[in-house]
Amino acid sequence: MIIGLWLMGGIALVFGMVVFVGAPYVPSKRREIRAAFCDLYRLSPQDTLVDIGAGDGIVLREASRLGARAIGYEINPFLVGIARWLSRHDARVSVRFANFWTTDLPPETTVIYAFGESRDITRMARRVAREATRLAKPLMFISYAFAVPGQHPIKQVGAYYLYRIAPLHTDKS
């Protein structure tokens, strides 16, 4: 009984602490994800999608069903385990116990998917722009639920916003 209470308390603590670093875990709806990947940005086998805060990995598995390579970054170790378990038979999906704020995106990245929060969405867009600059190519950025203040999306479908984030201009004189 005591061990069960400690275990439950530990799990609650991990889920609670994650909120200070990123968005809380909110399960995505498969139907809405499919609509975003068909009507907002059509994923293809040429794409590599990175899901910031991958949660249980549903976005990754939907991206893979469309032929894309899908990489999830998640800071909650319990959700990393769940996502890896649910995606275990899919070679195009990988889930990393990693923090988006401190981890470089893979060079093959073409699309970043995020369910951020209003407090973080501007910072996320700036981070994606730095990564676009480092990778020397534009990146597509799909934001669920929050628009990036001061930027106009290329397209919007429901609560999804699509942005093309170009590399930052750097003067190397």
What gap in Å lies between CA 33 and CA 35, rounded to an integer? 5
Q: Which residues in the chain come in under a pLDDT of 70?
A: 1-27, 170-173
Q: What is the CATH number of the domain that holds 133?
A: 3.40.50.150
Helix (H, G, I), strand (E, B) or coil at 122: helix
Report if residue 63 sits inside a domain: yes
> What angle, rounded to 10 degrees, do the helices at 77-86 and 2-21 form?
90
At residue 17, the pLDDT reads 46
Report if residue 172 sits inside a domain: no
Report if residue 102 sits inside a domain: yes
At residue 26, the pLDDT reads 62
At residue 117, the pLDDT reads 77
Residue 98: domain span: 2-165
Number of domains in the chain: 1
At residue 4, the pLDDT reads 52
Report if residue 148 sits inside a domain: yes
Report if residue 76 sits inside a domain: yes
Q: How far is CA 32 from the centre of its chain?
A: 15
96-118 pLDDT per residue, tens? 999 999 999 999 999 999 987 77
Report if residue 171 sits inside a domain: no
At residue 171, the pLDDT reads 57
Place of tokens 């020397």: 136
Helices (H), the chain: 2-21, 30-35, 58-65, 77-86, 121-135
Helix (H, G, I), strand (E, B) or coil at 118: coil
Report if residue 84 sits inside a domain: yes
Report if residue 126 sits inside a domain: yes
At residue 119, the pLDDT reads 82
63-77 pLDDT per residue, tens? 999 999 999 999 999
